[in-house]
Amino acid sequence: FIFFIELGEYIDRRCVYYRKPLVDSGTLGTKASVQVVVPHLTESYSSTRDPPDPSIPMCLLHNFPNLIEHTIQWARDNFAGLFTIPAQQVEEYQRNPGEFAQRTSKNLSEYDRNEIIENVQRSLGSDRPKDFLDCIKWSRNLFQQQFHNTIAQLLYNFPHDHKTTAGERFWSGNKRCPHVLNFDVNNRTHLDFIVAASNLLAHIYFIEQIRDREYIAEQVSKIKVQEFQPKSGVQIFENDEQLKTDMEKKRRKNSIIEDDQTEQEKINKLLNRLPKHNEIRSINIR
């Protein structure tokens, strides 16, 4: 697989120079592709460019998915947001706090900056497990949040019989009305999620992994999760235009405050929101 266009073009130039064949394969959602390049017989890898991949609107992806491609993209983004990106950000912070703060304070929106800070705070604080049982608890709460609470809040904002301002049914056409999942330890798919998520989290924090499904099922059955209480005032955007408008308002509001701050003041403010470096230096994470 060639993961980056720049890397692909470099390999292609080497293959052309040394007259070597090249095979490139890749996937996009449910589709797969392969390209065979043969010297003096086919065009080279760099001869043509693929059209840009169509992006899926964020609101559609998180609130109103209706195609299998949407669920695949959601799962991929979710995996990276849980098990890849936060660990990378923590490693960068541990390696050089000052450089991390300087880079984060520049050229980022307030939304992106807060997301990075919260990732580091959670990874080194509330989400940091001490043993495998903590990993199971984290996974059980994650299941509750993603497959029950988030959907319950969506249905609280837009009930099954909700109608638009035009008097039409809100849940119709491409908007498929979802339903909450109540965790069932006897449901194989539900337990698969707990087993996988627990072991992935354990791997990140160098905790010994456990693959014994009976043991995990026994432990997760003992966990009591907080009962969902709908929140009033939670804004769920119906489309990306509404989301962009809201983010632009927040950006303007924050830019007014930040315009009066020097670059060093911004960096110090960011560092004050992060865990003290000398307290987390010994934490191993990957």
pLDDT at 20 over 80: yes
Averaged pLDDT for residues 101-115: 80
**Burial class for 77, CB neighbours closer than 10 Å (0-12, 13-18, 19+):** middle
Q: Give the tokens for residue 169.
A: 């049914």
Averaged pLDDT for residues 51-69: 78
pLDDT at 228 over 80: yes
Q: Give the tokens for residue 272.
A: 């004050």
Higher pLDDT pick, 195 / 236: 195
pTM for this entry: 0.75
Q: What is the DSSP letter of 67?
A: S
Q: How far apart are CA 43 and CA 236, in angstroms?
A: 48
Higher pLDDT pick, 45 / 206: 206
% of the chain surpassing 90 pLDDT = 49
CATH topology of domain 59-280: Arc Repressor Mutant, subunit A (1.10.10)
Averaged pLDDT for residues 149-162: 95
Highest mean pLDDT among 125-134, 167-176, 180-189: 180-189
pLDDT at 53 over 70: no
Residues 6 or more apart whose CB falls under 8 angstroms from that of 83 comprise 200, 201, 204
For the chain, which residues make up each domain, given as ranges?
Answer: 5-54, 59-280
**Burial class for 192, CB neighbours closer than 10 Å (0-12, 13-18, 19+):** exposed
Q: How far apart are CA 193 and CA 181, in angstroms?
A: 13
pLDDT at 148 over 90: yes
pLDDT at 254 over 80: no
Asked if 147 and 155 touch (Cβ cutoff 8 Å), the reply is: no
Q: Is the dihedral of CA 191, 197, 200, 202 positive or negative?
A: negative
Averaged pLDDT for residues 200-227: 97
Range 242-280 burial, b when 16+ CB lie within 10 A, else e:
ebeeeeeeeeeeeeeeeeeeeeeebbeebbeebbeeeeb
CA atoms within 13 A on the CB side of 84: 7
241 pLDDT band (50/70/90 cuts)? confident
- The pLDDT score that the predictor gives to residue 1 is 45
- The pLDDT score that the predictor gives to residue 60 is 79
pLDDT at 210 over 50: yes
Active-site residue flag, 59: yes
Asked if 274 and 120 touch (Cβ cutoff 8 Å), the reply is: yes
Q: How far apart are CA 275 and CA 125, in angstroms?
A: 8
Per mean pLDDT, which range of 54-63, 145-154, 193-202 is the poorest?
54-63
Averaged pLDDT for residues 15-28: 88
Per mean pLDDT, which range of 24-33, 104-113, 200-209, 258-267 is the poorest?
258-267
**For the range 253-256, what are the long-range contacts, defined as Cβ-Cβ under 8 Å and sequence gap of 24 or more?**
254/110
Highest mean pLDDT among 51-55, 95-99, 168-172, 274-278: 168-172
User: Which residue, 201, 253, 224, is CA-closest to 141?
Assistant: 224
